[in-house]
Amino acid sequence: MEKIRVGVVGLGHRGRHMARLVQDAFDHCATVVAACDSDPVLWHETQWLQQKPMKEILPNAVFYENYIEMLDHCKIDIVMVETGADVHASFCIEALNRNMDVFSDIPSVANLKEADALWKAEQASKGKLMTGANPNEWGFINALVDLYQKGLLGKPYYMEAEYIHSSLNTVESKELTVHSPWRKLLCPIRYCTHSLGPLLRIMEEDLRYVVCMGTGNHFDDDSQKDNMSAALFQTESGVTIRLLRNGKCRAGIGSHSYRVFGTKGYYERLDSRGAQYPAVTRFRSDDLYGAHDFTILPSGMMANEYIYNPKASGHGGADYALMDHMFTAYLNGDAEYPISLREGLRMTLPGIFAEESSKRKGERLRMTYPWDSDWSTEF
Ligand SMILES: NC(=O)c1ccc[n+]([C@@H]2O[C@H](COP(=O)([O-])OP(=O)(O)OC[C@H]3O[C@@H](n4cnc5c(N)ncnc54)[C@H](O)[C@@H]3O)[C@@H](O)[C@H]2O)c1
């Protein structure tokens, strides 16, 4: 079998990790044939958490400093876009314009005009886009989806999520920001995809309204963004999501928590609260015999199907699951990837509207999407 030819643009911490994952864990079906970064040091020299430079980790890849040159000179089946969080769309569009498939990390776009251009580019292309929403792949989120699909939660009407990044002046936070301007500049609520993506898996409606407020910056000299953003999203039928996102903070708690209130049950995944309180997943249901009381589910980050797979790694195996599902869909010739561009925009655009609401001191905004008849690239 001919291997899937992968090219990667962006060799920051994330791009290096994902390219290595493809090379190490998917050698049976894929190979990295090209890598690109405007900073050649990231290719030639050993970086943080590496034993050797990327040029030795990816022996089959040709390195480019110029992205267009990589696309035009190298035969690539799937381009992995791992540039900063606010600069994905133009890279994806260039690849789609050349009928290549794309794996785009999240958030999908940085503004409404990009959403419009990316949506149109995919529709005009023979290529298709896979959204790199790894939190959608966590085992405890699969458990939530299963409870929902079996009707054990009823209809969700109120949900909560928080993504609290606790790092403050740690070695990790310093290393992560060396090459990553987006980590200092991006308004926290724009990085809402890790929180909304999993919850949107159990919602048929798109989010339609938002109000958001930010705290301003009280203590982080290194950053120009709010220390914390709090948003409320709502669908047309009134389903409401509360979301908390931060820049840095001193909490020292686990990052990702979710709560779902349904008409027949309740689900929660609470991330760790210090060493004494590890992460826990619990639920209760009116409709499952024996689950009338609060019940612990043995679901962790790793999806069940990968528990005994030694190659499954990256964010508790979610990175592996993402790539596995994408390569499988590619080899099957599926018409769409399992996390489509539409799903990416459903979880990304609410953050863009929320930032605008925050700039307008919490004004309630109506959100539209490229597939809506009243879609507009103006707020
Ligand atoms: N899903 C996750 O769990 C997760 C985790 C971390 C980061 N991310 C995402 O991964 C992406 C990358 O994150 P990061 O922290 O590695 O970012 P980063 O800013 O450190 O790295 C981006 C790289 O892109 C390169 N680049 C920028 N413009 C370029 C151009 N025109 N041509 C070639 N290279 C160019 C930069 O030189 C840099 O090395 C972001 O979108 C982020 O949101 C996702």
Classify residue 224 as left (phi > 0), alpha (psi -120 to 50) or beta: alpha
107 and 172 share one domain: no
What is the number of domains present in the chain?
2
For residues 334 and 287, membership in a common domain is answered with no
* pTM recorded for the entire structure: 0.97
Q: In angstroms, what CA-CA distances link 289 with 11, 149, 280, 294, 315?
A: 51, 17, 22, 12, 34
Assess whether 255 and 154 both reside in one domain: yes
Q: Does a structural domain hold residue 264?
A: yes
Quote the ligand 1 centre to 180 CA distance (angstroms).
7
Q: Which of 197, 188, 213 is nearest to 86 (CA)?
A: 188
Q: State both tokens at 91.
A: 């890279």
Which of 82, 106, 138, 186 gets mutated to test ligand 1 (max ligand atoms within 8 A of its CB)? 82
Q: Please tell me the distance from the alpha carbon of residue 299 to that of residue 310, in angstroms, as a whole number.
A: 18
My answer on whether 110 and 198 are in the same domain is no
* Whether 108 and 96 share a structural domain: yes
**Closest Cα to atom 7 of ligand 1:** 14
On whether residue 378 sits in a domain, the answer given is: no
Closest Cα partner for 261 from 212, 318, 202?
202
Q: What are the pocket residues of ligand 1 if the criterion is a CB atom closer than 6 Å to any ligand atom? A: 9-15, 36-39, 42, 67, 82-85, 105-106, 132, 134, 179-180, 182, 315
Q: What is the CA(105)–ligand 1 centre distance, in A? A: 9
Q: How far is the CA of 185 from the centre of ligand 1 (A)?
A: 13
Nearest to 144 by CA among 255, 256, 242: 256
Domain span holding position 189 = 136-305+348-366
Q: In this structure, what are the phi and psi dihedrals at residue 192, rounded to the nearest 5 degrees?
A: -95, -5
Q: In what order do the strands lie in the sheet with 240-246?
A: 295-297, 280-285, 265-270, 256-262, 156-163, 240-246, 228-234, 209-214, 365-366
Same domain, 88 and 147: no
How large is the C-alpha radius of gyration of the chain? 20
SS3 372: coil
User: What pLDDT does 93 receive?
Assistant: 98
Which of 105, 101, 102 is closest to 85 using CA atoms? 105
Strand partners, 9: 36, 81
**Cβ(304)–Cβ(193) below 8 Å:** no
- What CATH number is associated with residue 34? 3.40.50.720
Q: How far is the CA of 59 from the centre of ligand 1 (A)?
A: 21
Each as own residue / partner, the long-range contacts of residues 216-224 (CB below 8 Å, 24 or more positions apart, any chain) are 217/247, 220/168, 220/247, 220/248, 222/177, 222/184, 223/184, 223/185, 223/247, 223/248, 224/184, 224/185
**Same-domain pairing of 233 and 324:** no
Residue 247 in domain: yes
Same domain, 71 and 157: no
Question: What integer pLDDT is reported at residue 248 of this predicted model?
Answer: 80
Within a domain: 100: yes
Domain co-membership, 161 together with 94: no
**256, part of any domain:** yes
From the CA of 191, give the closest atom in ligand 1.
43
pLDDT at 168: 63
DSSP category for residue 264: S
C-alpha 37 – ligand 1 centre gap (Å): 10
* pLDDT tens, the chain, 379 aa long: 799 999 999 999 999 999 999 999 999 999 999 999 999 999 999 998 899 999 999 999 999 999 999 999 999 999 999 999 999 999 999 999 999 999 999 999 999 999 999 999 999 999 999 999 999 999 999 999 999 999 999 999 999 999 998 766 677 777 777 778 888 889 999 999 999 999 999 999 999 999 999 999 998 777 778 999 999 999 999 999 999 999 888 888 899 999 999 999 999 999 999 889 999 999 999 999 999 899 999 999 999 999 999 999 999 999 999 999 999 999 999 999 999 999 999 999 999 999 999 999 999 999 999 999 999 999 9
Residue of 90, 86, 81, 256 whose CA lies nearest to 186: 86
Cα→Cα distances 271→188, 257, 276, 298, 323, Å: 19, 5, 12, 14, 25
Does any domain span residue 331?
Answer: yes
Atom of ligand 1 nearest to the CA of 178: 20
Does residue 301 sit in the same domain as residue 177?
yes
Q: Is residue 343 part of a domain?
A: no
- Asked if 225 and 186 touch (Cβ cutoff 8 Å), the reply is yes
CA of 264 to the centre of ligand 1 (A): 42
Which CATH number is 297's domain given?
3.30.360.10
Q: Which distant-in-sequence residues (6+ apart) come within 8 Å of 46 by Cβ?
A: 52, 53
Residue 154 lies in a domain: yes
Is 237 found in the same domain as 358?
A: yes
Name the helix (H) or strand (E) containing 139.
helix 139-149
- What tokens were used for 108? 């999908």
- Shared-domain flag, residues 9 and 61: yes
Q: Which two tokens stand for residue 155?
A: 């209809």
